[in-house]
Each structure stands twice: as structure tokens, then as C-alpha cells.
Structure 1
């Protein structure tokens, strides 16, 4: 009787990974990365579509029709009409485009402030680091909405005032993130070698620190974008934001409060849902970018 003493094949051994075969199977991490990139592309396309539609709707949104005032949502007017018979869907698209522009400008301003402060604190010595740390703690200690209201009121209200107010108050948390990254880079061997070769602080900040901070800055600015949009809408709702003559979402919600008790619910609910959808899309873009750019992310 013959006995087969050969070891079992790899396919029969439990707990052992299967062979790669011909290499046609896509790795799991690459498949997840592809899905994340697809989600980012879809969300970005939707946001761009809203901005383009708002640009095209600027003219028709101002057309009045008193015979069709306060009409409920229908096929002809999916969002209904307002007190002057203007199509609420077109006005919402124009308001969302305006909110996107304000949020983009304010987020870019806050990101630039955070980047400059992080670089100054890292290469400026102990005194500069102490001043930047004190500023960050001061702004984080103040109530955010109260600070927004005070700045918008001091600047006189209007579109420029809300951009400045939002842009000047959203940088502290991003500054902390950039400070942590810049301190880690500043303690690396190649930065020490660069300084030993006689390179100054500006060279170190420009050639070594800034390239490492840009990915974190990009993701942080995108994640600030939804907060900037919501705070712009809040300031406009309180009368300190966008000029009342422009159909910003906050202005639409403020106007809806006057007739909401009469049963015209669509004037507040539908523009609010549109704003929520755009905010969630931008927030999704920021979260997916964070997962794509984070080198230690489990998503990859």
C-alpha cells in the first residue's frame, strides 16, 4: 500500500492567501480608491452644475408675474412661486451660486491666513510661535457666531462684509493642523541638513514646509467650505449678510418668515433643502479628498 507524503497544495491549506493567478483581479485598495475618485467626481460635477445653472438662471429668476404669486409647487414651478410670482427654483439656484462664491472666497481667505500663520510660527522662533498660539487660543475661546455678528456689523453688512467676517474667523482650527504638520517637517533630517548648508528661514519655509502643507491646506479649505456657506446663510437670514436685493438663500429664508404662517411652507422648506444638499455635497468632497490624500488612511 503506497502512502502519499507530499505536502498539501496551497489551495487546501486554511488561512493561506490564494495565489495571484494571472493578475487580473483588482486589489481591494485600488478598487476603493476608484470608488472614492468616482464619488468625488460626481459630487464635484453636481456642485459645478448648480453653479452653472445659477448663472444661467440669473435673468429669468428676476421675472415677476403677479398673476402667479404664491403658487404651490407644481410641474410648471417645482419650487412654487414667491410673493411677486417669481419662480422659486430659479431664485434658489441663483442664491446657491452666490453662496458657493462667497464660501469659496471666504474659505480661500481663511486657508491663506492659516498657512501664513503656520509658517511664521514654525520659522519665526519662539516669540512668533507664542504669538500665533495666543491668537489661535483667543479666537477659539470666543463664541463663533457672536464674533461673526460683531464683525459683520462693524464692517457695515453686505456681501463684502460677510466675506470678510467669515474669512477672518474660520482659520484657527486649520492653523492648528498646519502647525502640527509644519513642526513635524521642521524636525526632520533634511530640514536640518538644509539649515546646516546655510539656507535661511525663507528658503526652508518655501522649499520644505510649504510643499508639505499644501495637501493639508487644500483638504482643510474644502472642509471649511460648508461651514462658510452655512454661516453666510445665517448672517443673511439675520440681515447682516448678502444685500437684500440679491436672491441669497438666507435672504429667501428671511422673506419666507413673513408669510410662513399663511401656509406657504415651500418658501422656506425647499430653499433650505437645496442649501442642505449643496453643503452635504461639498462636505462629501472634502471628506473623500482627506481619505485620498492622507498617507496613513485605512481607506487606501
Structure 2
């Protein structure tokens, strides 16, 4: 085995471990959060502001609620939002990108206009506006994140399709009587699949970070719902009094999830695009 082949297999093994670790962390947090009963993080005023200990791993908050169980439940809510928003956003990007490149004309101009419109408005402001108009809560947050994360991936998909839409095998398909939808399904979607999969993985950390951000600002989940943004927002009222655990542990759980998926996406990008600038 030469050095080039050995380097490839090392990179492939590294990518496999990164992706496996990220999805394992996601699965464990999601399953644990969904299985936790509300009584596990219920109100207990006799246990207020207990620092981290064996009985309460992450301590308790100002209402005596166990921060460990509440943080796990909050992260699972963020993961659900991230999965739904990433799926919807990436699907929009795939449809818009392929349609814009293949159809051209007014379709391409309309898609580019929508992309410029979304990217021309400050991202956080657009998130808040959509979430507020959709009534906040889980529905509002999911809609806001899903409807604001597709433009960049749309541009990538469109660029990939533009590179091959004039290829001989594509033109031969048109001459054989196939419609642009058939060409898109049979030729274009397989062509953009690597870029699309990388985009889906990299969309996820952005989705959960922005969900936490707008919830932190009060435009997402309501205060009674366990969510990382709600927990961090509440901790700001007590962190100056030395209750550091209310912010540190939930923040680290969210940060760990974001870093894991960002690493997985970057490694996947290097593996599928070995000649890219990231190499």
C-alpha cells in the first residue's frame, strides 16, 4: 500500500469515526430526552441552587429543577427541530437548485431573486420575524429555521448542475424525448448527491444553534418548555451570583453537538472532494 492510498484510508477512517460519533451522540441524546419524564426535572423549591453533586450532576436551578435531566430534554428538543428544519431546508435547496439550473430563464431568475432576498436580510432578524409570524413555539421555530437555511445550499446545487447540464449524455436524454424532470431525476440528482449530503450534515449544527439563539431572545419556545435557549436565558439572571453551572453545562452540551457535526461535515467534504481547497 503506497503513501497516497494509506493517506486516503486514514482519512476515510477518520471520517467514519467522526460521522459515527456525531450520530451516536445525537441518537443517545434524542432517545434519552424523549424517555425522560417531566417529573425528573420537576419543581422542588427545597432543592434550589444546589451545585453539581452525585445526586444532581449538573446542579439545580432557581426552582429546584434538576439541570441534567432538563438539559438533556432541552437538547433533544433542539435535535428534533434541527432534524426537521434541515430536512425541509435541504429538500427546498435541492428542488430550487436543480430547477433553476435546468430550466433557466424566468425560473432561474426567480430562484436567484429569492436567494438574494433571503441572504440580503440579516439572518437573525429574518429568523425572529418568521418565528413571530408563525406563533413562536415549536412550529414557529421549525418554520423559521427551515425557511432561512436553504439559499447557500441552493447556490451550490445550482452550480453543480450548471457544470453538467450541457454534457453529451444529458443532451442525448433530451433527444430521446425525456422531460427535464426525468433528466433531473436520472442524471442531476445523482450528480449533486455528494454536495447535497454534505450540505445536509452541515445544515444541522446551524439549525440547532439558531433555534437556541431565537429561543434565548424570547422568540422561540415558551419558558415552561425545556430548551437549551430557555435554560441559557434563565441562567443569565443568576450567573453573576455564582450559579455558573446553570449556563456552563447546558452550553457545553449544545457546543459539543455543534462541534461534532461540524467536524463530521468537514471530514465528509474532504473525503468526497479530495481536490477542494480544504485539502
TM-score bucket (shorter structure):
over 0.9
Match of 1:111?
90
Shift of 1:217: 1.4
Query: What secondary structure, in the 3-state scheme, does the structure 2 residue paired with 1:252 have?
Result: helix
| Equivalent residue number for residue 182 of structure 2 | 203
The structural deviation recorded for 1:45 is 1.5
List per-residue Cα deviations over 1:199-235 (Å, max 9, x = no partner).
1111111111112222211210110111111110011
How do residues 53-92 of structure 1 correspond to structure 2 at under 5 angstroms? Answer: 53-92=32-71
- Give 1:134 deviation, angstroms: 1.5
Q: Helix, strand or coil for the counterpart of 1:258?
A: coil
Cα deviation, residue 289, structure 1 = 2.0
Unpaired runs of at least 5, structure 1: 1-19
What are the equivalent positions in structure 2 for 1:80-229 lying under 5 Å apart?
80-229=59-208
**CA deviation after TM superposition for structure 1 residue 299, in Å:** 8.6
| Whole-Å separation in 2 of the counterparts to 1:265 and 1:288 | 34
Residue 42 of structure 1 corresponds to: 21
Q: How many residues in Structure 1 have an aligned counterpart in Structure 2?
A: 278
**For the residues of structure 2 that align with 1:47 and 1:278, how far apart are their CA atoms?**
7
**Which runs of 5 or more structure 2 residues have no equivalent in the other structure?**
none
Deviations 1:25-57 (A, max 9, x none): x73322331232123222322222222222233
Higher CA-based Rg:
1
Q: TM-score, normalised by structure 2?
A: 0.92
**Residue 9 of structure 1: aligned partner:** none
- Checking the alignment, whether the CA contact within 8 Å between 2:198 and 2:265 is kept in structure 1 is yes
For 1:60 and 1:38, locate their aligned partners in 2 and report how far apart those are by CA, in whole Å. 36
Aligned-residue CA RMSD (Å): 2.1
How far apart are the structure 2 equivalents of 1:121 and 1:32? 34
Q: Answer yes or no: is the 8 Å Cα contact 2:98–2:161 preserved in 1.
A: yes
Residue 298 of structure 1: CA displacement? 8.5
Which secondary structure does the structure 1 equivalent of 2:125 belong to? helix
Structure 2: distance between partners of 1:57 and 1:226: 23
* Contact 2:102–2:161 (CA under 8 A) maintained in structure 1: no
